[in-house]
Amino acid sequence: MHPDRTPVMAGNWKLHKGIHDTGGYVRELVQALKERGDLGCEVIIAPVFTSLAVALQAVWGSPIKVAAQNCHWEETGAFTGEISAAMLKEVGVSHVILGHSERRQYFGETDATVNGRLKATLAQRMAPIFCIGETIDQRRAGETERVLERQLNDGLAGLGAEALSTLIVAYEPVWAIGTGEVATPEQAQAAHAYIRGWFSKAHGDGFANRVRLLYGGSAKPDNVKEILACPDVDGCLIGGASLTAESFLPMIDAAASR
């Protein structure tokens, strides 16, 4: 981590925790963070859509921010099963996870659709948590940087530095997500340095030095310190280990005590 960039620890709950579990868990987090005082670290949770309102109510007055896990590019229309950025904004959401590899793998998400969702999110003045990362086959074939470049070029197409000022990027190697196999600090740092370099070329050094790049993929309390020690890693997007206070809190502490 770099002292000039405030770290971000974000919990991606995926398809877990209905309203009952959400209320209790978020109240536990709020209380624990209150006892810690100023963290010097941003904390975000991303519950399922139906739990957003309960989460937002429970975080009221605390520093925890609430993200949605996706949004559609149109504001309204005949799009059964979708939710719009305007609707998320209305409920009080501040961040939206976009382009997660599970959306890309299982739900037909493409760089072009991610780009549309990103633009809709930004138009509502919410901050995107834009996920990119290579599969194991792409890594073995030596295509990691090419894949990241394509995802960045196409996912962020048509968006300038000013529009992207709130952008957070999550580098999530697909082979590390939910598998227990974590990228080595060297692999994480190399990918993050590549991504920061892309921003430097696309939007200048000032932007590249400010943009927060999170690592995601089997981040856990026992490996988070070495991941966070990488100079270009500014926090984590955490799936499984964000679901209990027992594992999420020590990870937040690791980022806060940098």
Mask of contacts with ligand PGA, 11-30, x by CB under 6 A? -x------------------
Query: Which stretch in 57-65, 143-151, 199-207, 239-247 sits in contact with ligand PGA by CB under 6 A?
Result: 239-247
Cα–Cα distances in angstroms (integers) from residue 172 to residues 130, 215, 216, in the given order:
10, 6, 5
Question: Is 95 tagged catalytic?
Answer: no
Count of positions on this chain that bind ligand PGA (CB under 6 A): 13
Instruction: Give 120 or 177: the residue with its C-beta nearer to ligand PGA.
Output: 177
Annotated catalytic residue 100: yes
Rounded to 5 degrees, what angle do the CA atoms 253, 17, 103 make? 90
Q: Which residue of 54, 87, 98, 238 would you call a contact of ligand PGA, by CB under 6 A? A: 238
Rank residues 128 and 208 by Cβ distance to ligand PGA and give the closer one. 128
Catalytic residue among 134, 172, 192, 203: 172
| Least distance from ligand PGA to the Cβ atom of residue 102, Å | 7
- Total Cβ atoms within 10 A of residue 37: 8
Q: Does 172 bind ligand PGA (CB under 6 A)?
A: yes
Residues 196-235 that bind ligand PGA (CB under 6 A): 216-219
Using CB under 6 A as the binding rule, whether residue 178 contacts ligand PGA is answered as yes
Distances (CA, A) of 146 to 108, 128, 191: 20, 22, 11
Distance of alpha carbon 151 from alpha carbon 124, whole angstroms: 22
List the catalytic residue out of 72, 100, 192, 203: 100
* C-alpha closest to that of 230 among 180, 196, 181: 196
Helix-then-strand count for the chain, H and E = 11, 8
Contacts of 144 (CB under 8 A, 6+ apart): 134, 138, 191, 194
Whether the CB-CB separation of 251 and 9 falls below 8 Å is answered with: yes
* Site of interaction with ligand PGA (CB under 6 A): 12, 172, 177-178, 216-219, 237-241
Catalytic sites, residue numbers: 100, 172
